[in-house]
Structure 1
Amino acid sequence: MSNYLQRDESKQIQLSGWQRLLPWLLSSFCLLLASVTHQFASAQEIDSLRKGVVKVAATLDGIQKTGTGFIVQQDTKATYIVTAAHVLADDKYPKVAFFSERHTSVETEVLQNDQRNDTSLFKVHDNTLVSTDVIALLFAVEEKVQDNNELIAIGFPPGIEWAQIPVTLALRQGTDLIFDGNLDEGNSGGPILKKGSINDLVTKGDNRLGRAIPEKFITTVLDGWDITLMKGGVVTAQFTSKPTPHEKPPTTTRLLIEPDMVAVPAGKLIMGSPKTEPGRYSNEGPQHEVFIASFAISRTEITVGQFRLFVQDKDYHGGKEFQTAAEENEKGCWTWNEEKKQFERIPQRNWKSPGFHQHDEHPAVCVSWDDAQAYVQWLLKKTGKQYRLPTEAEWEYVARAGTTTVYWWGDNIGKNNAVCGDCGSQWDGRQTAPVGSFKPNAFGVYDISGNVWEWTQDCWHDDYTNAPTNGTAWLEKDNGDCSCRVVRGGSWGFDPLDLRSAGRDWIITDGAGYGTGFRVARDF
């Protein structure tokens, strides 16, 4: 295992010429969207709203078409969804995918089609098939759209899933509203949102302009189905990991700036690797038992979009945007120089421009430990909740999710379980993958192995001699070097062995690397 910045780089995966890779047209489009939507993202947590939006797939004459829908109610038995009638066509049993389980399709049943208003209501009969963190989107208290309103659409333009697109009211045609904002047919059936609440339903996307109907027409299709629409702007989320028999999953009111969190039950961990494990380093021993108290951890790594909310909170930062370690004095971000076979800091590289294309759903990189701490403090002060970085023991406990194998999915790296230098994914050795691109582990946590190295709270120790057994952070005690902090999980450009659940490394606290990000933890 190689230290990302300071030690032997011999195990960094080399793919000659990857830096000369031409930008993907689609990725360029994503970047354009990200650059023009940041002012909307700062007003609301887009990631939370996506939990109420679904991808709809309907089949007509053997041809599948894709659109968007949104959840209007979920009770103990069923989940009710609205979309545009033309998206479903005559398919009585369309399928949907939820944001947290985007690779799983769930069958639904159409309840009512209002062809006149191009609105349909359908439902999932069995809620055990529904992602447990979905939300019913709220409807706007004041429904009329004004010309200067800041609006977004969430939907599925070609090649982009759960994309947020800024839109503005262009004109009114009778009861229909015409919006300007690169809306595509894949956005049909999706919501137009104002301040996080539903205002309109997209009935047609055509290149730049999109047509929508106001919220009052959406409600007509719901009459007679005993559906109570909620109005307002706060999301109530329930933690979703399976509790132990004596532990109930806690509920909490989650602000829109907060990451989606997973409740991790208390338990015991055999931390470290056995001497027989392939790729093992001596710093992974001796193995020892650790008790982990229950806590919460973010379901994904902190994304570019989430990090932007923090950076652009000028009220919090004294009237200006936050400057990351890589941006200060153009210190730059550590990247791999293929010609020199070494890492070097590139002044132009930072979280906004890491050297490869990202959009809001990619993990934030070129983020130092100091930057991650600043983000955590911002969350803590904004919410009053005890956000922090996970300890190293907590991180391994989550990474293993009850397993003792080399990786949480088994003893072999396999194919397409994660992104690394040679993991069999489309992003290998080139760039980060959008968070949640691979299946989650048993705790419901995504990308715990691969994608980016993740910061922890712990100072670096050369091995586990005298390590704490209660899951707390190991700091200066026992000759800890707190100028270097532990990172875990490997990244998109590193050897598969670095993704092992026991693998560990260190980076200097102000070191920002293009393969380093973080996720957050929270105390109950």
Structure 2
Amino acid sequence: MTNMGKQKVQESECWQKAVLLLKTDMDCRLMVNDDNYGALQKNTPFAIELPFGAHVINVITQDGLLEKEWTQNISSKEQVVHLVCLADDYDRLRAVREAEVREPLGIECWPEGRIQQEQMLAALGAGLDPVFRDTPVTPEMVVIPAGSYRRGNANNKFKVNIVCSFAIGKYPVTVADWKYYVENSGVSYVPSDNGWEGDTLPVTNVNWYDAQNYVRWLSAHTCKTYRLLSEAEWEYASRAGTVTEYYWGDEIGHNNCNCQDSGSEWSRRSASPVGSFKPNAFGIYDMLGNVWEWLEDIWHDNYEESPTDGGAWVVGGNPLGRVMRGGSWSSFPQYARCAHRLGSVPSVRNCNFGLRLARTLP
């Protein structure tokens, strides 16, 4: 091809393209056809050169709440200007979402009598008593019915549906429970008692791997499926239908649990014997304060894309961190709230760290 011919082809190709200039009233992410253009900044014009024809344009707000898609036809070499208006629709959608999460959901609508009735029905369906032991020497378990609730802090809640009933330890795993495990499993690790005395104290100085070894042994010992709770199950069981910061109210109050400034005789001194405080509506003790409880989930910095069916979140995140919940005898009150989260390296053993069992029901 002659130089003249090449020049004409280039001019022809140039003629068949135009510039699309986008401007948005909110930060968002941009896709054009199948190409990801990343962030589109608020009030900052963004130019894209596109060939003549129809192009699918897609924008989504940074939090994923609002998405818009349209087909942009480009048929002239003149620059095409498009203003992406999101703010008004976003505000309306946000208001609807906030109204939805303010409304009681599922178990949050149940009076205490209904909660106990649902526990009875779930236990009946599993062929168990609402509170049971699989053997005379294994921990007491409480049946928790399936249901929906709003998870998270008061200003950032989202809906979760616990799709399957499950059982949870009535108390944290105790020193006596662990002694039986050591004596009957051949495990070599005996946790430090921190100089505290009492078989009814929660076991401490166990890490996530110790907890996993214990639930595996207990499953084999009983021929039942024991495991750690998911984070969603833990908060559901802890709240027991409440929407307040603690399952007894919005303030730490006096002698409701064992943490700093809670008014208990053990606060900032030691763990307390399990069952020393009033249970929640499910009949579970020590869900807040006393010891941090290891959970199954991998640590994630936020709830974005987290499961909404009650399952453990075991993909993505930081594999070097596992979630803990509940606070401990040395925690500040704000760390002993139903919604508070802690991440820890799974190999760490600490006098504040313990565990609570979950058991899958038939």
Q: Take 2:178 and 2:123, find their aligned partners in 1: how far apart are those partners?
A: 31
3-state SS, counterpart of residue 270 of structure 1: strand
Task: Call closer, same or farther: CA 1:499–1:242 in 2, change over 3 Å.
Answer: farther
Partner of 2:68: none
Verify the 8 A CA contact 2:193 2:204 in the aligned structure 1.
no
1:249-268 equivalences in 2 (<5 Å): 249=124, 250-251=127-128, 254-268=134-148
- Residue aligning to 2:280: 441
In 1, Cα distance between the equivalents of 2:120 and 2:266?
Answer: 40
Code of the residue aligned with 1:264 in structure 2: it is I
- Quick one: which of 314, 333, 341 aligns to 1:496? 333
**Relative to 1, partners in 2 of residues 1:242 and 1:433: Cα closer, same or farther, differing over 3 Å?**
farther
Counterpart of 2:201 in structure 1 is 362
Structure-1-length-normalised TM-score: 0.45
Alignment correspondent of 1:323: 189
**Count of residues in correspondence between the two structures:** 241
Deviation at 1:245, TM superposition (A): 8.1
1:377 alignment partner in structure 2: 216
**Structure 2 residue runs without a partner (length 5+):** 1-114
1:425–1:245 CA distance, 2 compared to 1 (3 A) = closer
| Residues 372 and 246 of structure 1: CA distance in aligned 2, closer, same or farther (over 3 Å) | closer
How far the C-alpha of 1:433 sits from its partner, in A, is 0.4
Residue aligning to 1:352: 192
Q: 1:241 Cα shift?
A: 5.0
CA contact (8 A) 2:119 2:143 kept: no
| Residue in 2 that maps onto 1:522 | 359
Could you tell me which residue of structure 1 aligns to residue 154 of structure 2?
274
Instruction: Check conservation: 1:454, 1:516, Cα contact below 8 A.
Output: yes
Give yes or no for contact 1:363–1:435 (8 Å, CA) kept in 2. yes
Cα RMSD over matched residues? 1.7
**Structure 2: how far apart are the matches of 1:244 and 1:436?**
20
Residues 52-79 of structure 1, C-alpha deviation per residue, up to 9 Å, x if partnerless? Answer: xxxxxxxxxxxxxxxxxxxxxxxxxxxx
CA contact (8 A) 1:287 1:464 kept: no
Amino acid at match of 1:305: A
Once residues 282 and 270 of structure 2 are traced to their aligned partners in structure 1, the CA distance between those partners, rounded to angstroms, is 26
Q: Displacement of 1:246 after TM fit?
A: 5.5
More helix by share: 2
The separation in 2 between residues aligned to 1:360 and 1:379, in whole angstroms, is 19
Q: How many angstroms apart in 1 are the aligned matches of 2:188 and 2:137?
A: 16
Q: Compute the TM-score of the two structures, normalised by the length of structure 2.
A: 0.64
Q: Identity of paired residues, percent?
A: 42
Q: Which deviations, in whole Å up to 9, do the C-alpha atoms of 1:265-290 show, x marking residues without a partner? A: 11112110123xxxxxxxxxx42111
SS at match of 2:142: strand
Alpha-carbon distance change, 475 to 290 in structure 1, aligned in 2, over 3 angstroms: same
The structure with the larger Rg is: 2
Structure 1: give runs of 5+ residues left out of the alignment: 1-239, 276-285, 325-350
SS of match in other structure, 1:269:
strand
Q: CA deviation at 1:244?
A: 5.6
Confirm whether residue 243 of structure 1 aligns to residue 82 of structure 2: no
Of 488, 507, 521, 2:344 maps to 507
User: Partners in 2 of 1:444 and 1:245 — Cα distance?
Assistant: 12
Retained in 1: the 8 A contact 2:144–2:167?
yes
CA distance in 1, matches of 2:119, 2:350: 38
> Cα distance 1:410–1:387, how it changes in 2: closer, same or farther (>3 A)?
same
Looking at structure 2, the residues matched to 499 and 353 of structure 1 have their Cα atoms a distance apart, in angstroms, of: 22
Cα pair distance change 1:247/1:462, threshold 3 Å: same
Q: Secondary structure at the match of 2:216?
A: helix
